[in-house]
């Protein structure tokens, strides 16, 4: 049985760095991917360099960039949930949970990918991960799919140990690079990938592995 993966992240570009190689690899192996992206990153600092967008047009550009990034990874089921950037933590929990629960019920995933709540640096990241965990907590353990979390906090390793899952994505760096490059208002791809050769040892060692922590539920 091939995987049905549900990705839940708050910002266009969260997927590109943390898990685009993993998604490309799973898709190559037959997985279906649905990406629920809570906001359009409309408060994003970047407007492109050289300038592409202004504050008013940024959400429009970021929407297109998100679609382009997903296509580069190899899927097109991206659901934009319409929350506002930098405000996810202030949304009523019941509301955000109900939105995520609806998508969960629709997709019936065999694997869920999100941020590790409390260890993902940005309040939107933590609030998104926390909502996913609340929704999954309500599902009987025997029916609950595994949840793999990405995390950026410096104390993540001290508090939760080494990531238990490492995915070798070195054969999928073309997709990863294209996914990052799609977010042209936010990133200068040339600064990250040097000469752009995804086969180079430097690029492979910098981008070739993606790490996840399996979330352990209390019940
Ligand atoms: Zn983010």
Domain boundaries, given as residue ranges, for the chain: 4-214
List strands edge to edge, sheet with 32-37.
Answer: 77-80, 32-37, 4-9, 111-115, 147-150, 209-214, 165-168
Q: How far is the CA of 129 from the centre of ligand 1 (A)?
A: 11
Its pTM stands at 0.96
Return the structure tokens found at 38.
Answer: 């809570």
**What separation in Å is there between the alpha carbon of 14 and the centre of ligand 1?**
5
Q: If you measure from the C-alpha of residue 13 to the centroid of ligand 1, how many angstroms do you get, rounded to a whole number?
A: 7
**DSSP SS3 for 7:** strand
Cα 40 from chain centroid (whole Å): 13
Residue 143 CA to its chain's centroid (Å): 23
Query: 104 C-alpha vs ligand 1 centroid, how far in Å?
Result: 21
Ligand 1 centre distance from Cα of residue 121 (Å):
9
106: its two tokens: 């629709």
- Report, at the CATH architecture level, how domain 4-214 is classified: 3-Layer(aba) Sandwich (3.40)
Cα Rg of the chain, angstroms: 17
Q: pLDDT tens, 91-141?
A: 999 999 999 999 999 999 999 999 999 999 999 999 999 999 999 999 999
Walk along the chain (219 residues) in steps of 10 and give the mean pLDDT of each run: 93 95 98 98 90 93 97 98 96 98 98 96 96 97 97 90 96 96 88 77 90 92
Neighbours of ion ligand 1 (CB under 5 A): 11, 14
Q: How far is the CA of 10 from the centre of ligand 1 (A)?
A: 6
Measured in angstroms, how far is the CA atom of residue 1 from the centroid of ligand 1? 31
């Amino acid at each position: 049985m091939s995987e049905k993966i549900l990705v839940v992240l708050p910002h266009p570009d969260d997927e590109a760095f943390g898990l685009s190689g993993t998604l490309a690899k799973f898709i190559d192996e037959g997985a279906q991917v649905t990406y629920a992206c809570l906001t359009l990153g409309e408060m994003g600092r970047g407007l492109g360099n050289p300038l592409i967008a202004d504050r008013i047009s940024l959400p429009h550009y970021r929407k297109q960039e998100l679609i382009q990034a997903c296509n580069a990874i190899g899927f097109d089921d991206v659901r934009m949930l319409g929350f506002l950037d930098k405000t996810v933590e202030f949304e009523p929990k019941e509301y955000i949970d109900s939105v995520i629960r609806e998508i969960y019920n629709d997709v019936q995933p065999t694997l869920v990918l999100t941020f590790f709540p409390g260890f993902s640096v940005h309040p939107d990241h933590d609030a998104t991960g926390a909502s996913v965990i609340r929704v999954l907590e309500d599902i009987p353990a025997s029916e609950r799919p595994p949840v793999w979390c990405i995390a950026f906090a410096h104390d993540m390793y001290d508090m939760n140990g080494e990531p238990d899952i490492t995915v070798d994505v070195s054969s999928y760096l073309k997709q990863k690079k294209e996914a990052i490059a799609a977010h042209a208002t936010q990133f200068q791809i040339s600064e990250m990938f040097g000469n752009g050769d995804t086969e180079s040892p430097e690029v492979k060692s910098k981008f070739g592995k993606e790490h996840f922590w399996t979330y352990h539920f209390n019940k």
